[in-house]
Structure 1
Amino acid sequence: MHLPIRAILFDLDGTLLDTAPDMAEAANRVLADYNQAPLTDEQIKANTSYGARGLLTAGFGAIPAHLDADQLRREFLHYYQQNICEGTSVYRGINKVLAYLEAHQIPWGIMTNKPGFLTELLLPFFPELLKAQVVVCGDTLAVAKPHPEPLLHASELLGIPHTACAYVGDIEKDMIAANAARMHGLVAGWGYIGQTHHPEAWQAREVLPAPEALIDMLEQQRKCQ
């Protein structure tokens, strides 16, 4: 049974930050090295939250058998690290949400599958995100999403029962992780949701159309308490 929401955990790519321009640029540089066409806008939108593997698999159609997927990922990370914040931006409305959480003393943190070294490089560009009480990355533990353990670890660091935490993310495995951790799963409907994705079927508590909808939800909860 869920408790009322007392803390918020956010995914990073496609939830707090629009990192698609820089991640797509890195993927396109790898694809160009192998004489492949650049990604389409729809491929970028549908696959950015799946990271290097998602973008490169979309670009190649399928990773060719004669290529090493791990090597391609290393090449992607090299390019991405070089230009990690050329086109990345905070989604409109996120700063308003974070200000609301701070004003109402609601703890919040970041739980991302992005590698720690890239997260540490990126966050300083956005001082508002450095206020996160916890940051758990894809390699913080031995497992990553959709395994629930990183979310449980984040809630433990916050000192809030996991059933009183909400997790906001934009792909299905975010909701799989939230449900496995018995957290409130909230879909970031403004994120990287492609035409073939069906967030209404992800067993989330709610699909939020915009960041400000999270404020509305929390305000409604306050009125009911």
Structure 2
Amino acid sequence: MNLPIRAVLFDLDGTLLDTAPDMADAANKVLANYDHGPLTEEQIRANTSYGAKGLLTAGFGTVPSHLDDHQLREEFLGYYQQNICKGTSIYCGINKLLAYLENQHIPWGIMTNKPGFLTELLLPFFPELLKAQAIVCGDTLALAKPHPEPLLHASEILGVSHTSCAYIGDIEKDMVAANAAKMHGYVASWGYIGEEHTPSAWQAKGILPTPETLIDMLEQQNCHQGSE
């Protein structure tokens, strides 16, 4: 796929925002309710992008059969909603990247599996993210990642062909979704990638060490187009 990138879509947790402190705190509160110890730093890093299920499964080992998955998730969401932005921060370099996209008139948006009500609560803490020209959440449609439909929907909102969109995410199913949507999938290696993960095997278009790396790529693209 050699078409130029004309729009950029981002995952949220582990790509734009480091939400691990607050999500881990919510998970640890649930675990404590059932006499389980807190998550390790490695468990937090490897599982935050997998949400409540990923964090709680890591904490419990396997969720005991006498516990209800739905109830555990509701407990997690309750704790998280109450303290949604105590320790969350925007990743270094993201503001610079978003400013570049805006200055170059490159549309950008957010496509996250985070539920809509939590996304709506969180984004106002980061006004720069409210400038997104498309925000698609895990429950915006009937289907969520890794199905490609939410990405296709987001590209339609941006008014850019899906084949000219890049999708930046930090877990394998982000790349699965990007490939299924025929988008340029790039791994945000600054995100929640655990030691057991192998992003080189995720069939991504590339792995970005920093957000600024995307700026360099887009600059090279512009130079190449200008020389044609």
TM over 0.5, shorter chain: yes
The residue aligned with 2:41 is 41
The residue aligned with 2:123 is 123
Residues of 1 paired with 2:174 and 2:2: CA distance?
17
Superposed counterparts of 1:97-112, under 5 Å: 97-112=97-112
Structure 1 segments of 4 or more deviating over 4 A?
A: none
Residues of 2 paired with 1:171 and 1:2: CA distance?
23
CA RMSD of aligned residues (A): 0.5
Alpha-carbon shift at residue 87 of structure 1 (Å): 0.2
Residues of 1 paired with 2:63 and 2:142: CA distance?
25
Identity %: 78
CA deviations over 1:107-131 (Å, ceiling 9, x no partner): 0000000000000000000000000
Residues of 2 paired with 1:70 and 1:146: CA distance?
21
Other structure's SS at 2:135 match: strand
The residue aligned with 2:56 is 56
The residue aligned with 1:197 is 197
The residue aligned with 2:22 is 22
Q: Unaligned regions of 5+ residues in structure 1, if any?
A: none
Alpha-carbon shift at residue 3 of structure 1 (Å): 1.9
The residue aligned with 1:183 is 183
Other structure's SS at 2:185 match: strand
- 8 Å Cα contact 1:2-1:183 kept in structure 2: no
The residue aligned with 2:215 is 215
Residues of 1 paired with 2:5 and 2:62: CA distance?
41
Residues of 1 paired with 2:16 and 2:160: CA distance?
21
Alpha-carbon shift at residue 2 of structure 1 (Å): 4.7
Residues of 2 paired with 1:102 and 1:155: CA distance?
17
Other structure's SS at 1:49 match: helix
The residue aligned with 1:9 is 9
- 8 Å Cα contact 1:5-1:165 kept in structure 2: yes
Q: How many residues align?
A: 225
Other structure's SS at 2:21 match: helix
Residues of 2 paired with 1:220 and 1:192: CA distance?
28
> What is the TM-score with the length of structure 2 in the denominator?
0.98
CA deviations over 1:61-84 (Å, ceiling 9, x no partner): 011111111110000000000000
> What is the TM-score with the length of structure 1 in the denominator?
0.99
Q: Unaligned regions of 5+ residues in structure 2, if any?
A: none
Residues of 1 paired with 2:213 and 2:111: CA distance?
20
* Amino acid paired to 1:91: Y
Other structure's SS at 1:219 match: helix
Other structure's SS at 1:71 match: helix
